Structure 1
Amino acid sequence: MSKPLGYYVGCTPGYNLFLERVQEEYGAAFEKISKREKLCILMILASSLGCQLQGDVRGEIYVIAKEMTDQLSLSDQAGIMEAIIHQVRWGQNAEPVHHS
């Protein structure tokens, strides 16, 4: 993350004491958190958000996700993550397509 946390979450002084503490301890751009730790945070936040949504996950999604980890470079996997985060955050959702 090259921009400070406030760029992404609108964190201004006095806005959120928890986010202020996190920035103080780990840096405004999470520079004191390793890449592995950042991915752990991402995994936990994604799981939490997913559990709050209704509906099921199609079995084929697990298959394609596994294929992505097997067949894509680490850079491409990170790119897929970035695309999905953007789509989730900004509301680009599609209803599942059911093939006959």
Structure 2
Amino acid sequence: MSKPIGYYTNYTPGDEGLLAQMQSVWGAQLQELNNADRLWMIYKLAEELCAEFEEALEIEDLTEGVEEAVERSNSELQQSDRLGLIEALVNQVKHSK
């Protein structure tokens, strides 16, 4: 990450709370975390966000091909492509209405 936490969140230097604590312990760019820590955090945060939509979305409601694409991604996409796909999906969720 080349930008500080505040670029991606509502955190402003001087604020208190979890984001301030994370920045203090792991650095403004979370540079003190290793990739295992980062990926675990992504997994857990995504899991929690999905739980918020769980009642409205059943597996049968997924767009045709989504489940198959995810299953195939591990064997057919390089790690950098899977990370890029995650980034693209996050941006779509973040900016959709």
- Which TM class, normalised by the smaller chain length? 0.7 to 0.9
Aligned identity (percent) is 28
TM-score by length of 1: 0.82
TM-score by length of 2: 0.85
* Alpha-carbon distance in structure 1 between the residues aligned to 2:77 and 2:57: 28
2:80 maps to amino acid: S
Aligned pairs (5 A) from 1:43-82: 43-53=43-53, 54-58=56-60, 60-82=65-87
Specify every segment of 5 or more residues in structure 1 that has no aligned partner in the other structure, as ranges. 93-100
Find the counterpart in structure 2 of residue 29 from structure 1: 29
The structural deviation recorded for 1:51 is 0.8
RMSD: 1.6
- 1:91 is matched with 96
- Structure 2 CA distance, aligned partners of 1:51 and 1:82? 20
Q: Which runs of 4+ in 1 moved over 2 A?
A: 13-16, 57-63
CA distance in 2 between counterparts of 1:80 and 1:32 reads 24
Unaligned runs of 5+ in 2: none
Secondary structure of 1:52's match?
A: helix
